[in-house]
Amino acid sequence: MILAKVIGTVVTTIGNPHFKNRRLLVVQPLVMEGEKTDEDFIALDNTHAGIGDTVLVNREGGAARMVMDDPDAPVISVIVGIIDSIKIE
Amino acid sequence: MLFGRIKGNAVCTIKYPGTEGVKLLIVQPLDKHLEPVGPLQVVADTVHAGIGDLCVMVRSREASLAMPDEKFVPVDLATVGIVDDIEIRPDKDFDFTLKPGWNQFT
């Protein structure tokens, strides 16, 4: 799972039926100060996150299908939590 | 999952069993600013996308799950949605770095 910030929303009228009633959000992974930024990607929202939220993103298909409770969902990245704060030693 | 712009068609007469009738398209993967990332790729179409359409695509094993009928086919990139509208905030609106110590987000 990775930490990421929600930076955008995607609207798709024609889409996979397994995505119904869930939003697609564009997320940008967070990095430590001075490190190179990672590539952005699209994640399916399972937590009602919005633009500007810091979220926990699961980037593995098996876990994503488990979260969605749908064994045939074509999803890799799914947002599984909204982060309030983190402490780095 | 990632964005892609459909650039053309790929015609293929001999295909692996299970992929017959699947439309193959040439696609340019894009980043959040819709700038090209990497080379052109071939995508299996499941949402009836056409040339010029902006799509959402899924990679790896999950691409074959997007297929309408046969779910265990050799496909590693598939379209799962046609984008009508996107709203992306500019990078300067957010801070993408983490600092040692407490990071409060709410």
Contact A56, A80 (CB under 8 A): yes
Under an 8 A CB cutoff, do B65 and A73 touch? Answer: yes
Which of B31, B102, B104 has its CB closest to that of A40? B31
SS3 of residue A59 by DSSP: strand
Contact A75, B58 (CB under 8 A): yes
Which of A40, A73, A83 has its CB closest to that of B32? A40
Domains identified in chain B and CATH numbers: 2-93 (2.40.50.220)
Residue A78 clears pLDDT 90, i.e. is over it: yes
Best of B3, B98, B99 to mutate (most A CBs within 10 Å, chain A): B98
* Short-list B81, B79, B86, CA closest to A7: B86
Alpha carbon distance A14, A33 (integer Å): 39
Alpha carbon distance B2, A57 (integer Å): 15
Type of residue numbered B22: V
A87, part of any domain: no
pTM (predicted TM-score): 0.85
Task: Supply the CATH number for residue A65's domain.
Answer: 2.40.50.220
A88, part of any domain: no
Residues pairing with A41 in the sheet: A27
Question: Could you tell me whether strands A31-32 and B97-98 are parallel, antiparallel, or unpaired per DSSP bridges?
Answer: parallel
**A80/chain B closest Cα distance in angstroms:** 16
Contact B89, B68 (CB under 8 A): no
Q: What is the pLDDT of residues A11-57, one digit of tens each?
A: 988 888 888 888 899 999 999 888 888 889 999 998 888 898 999 99
Under an 8 A CB cutoff, do B31 and A87 touch? Answer: no
* Domain count of the fold of chain A: 1
Under an 8 A CB cutoff, do A14 and B103 touch? Answer: no
**Domain boundaries, position A66:** 2-82
- Chain A residues inside the 8 Å CB shell of B101: 87-88
pLDDT for A43 equals 93
pLDDT for A83 equals 92
Q: Which value does ipTM take for this structure?
A: 0.82
A40, part of any domain: yes
Burial readout B74-93 (b: 16 or more C-beta within 10 A, e: otherwise): ebebbbbbbbeebebbeeee
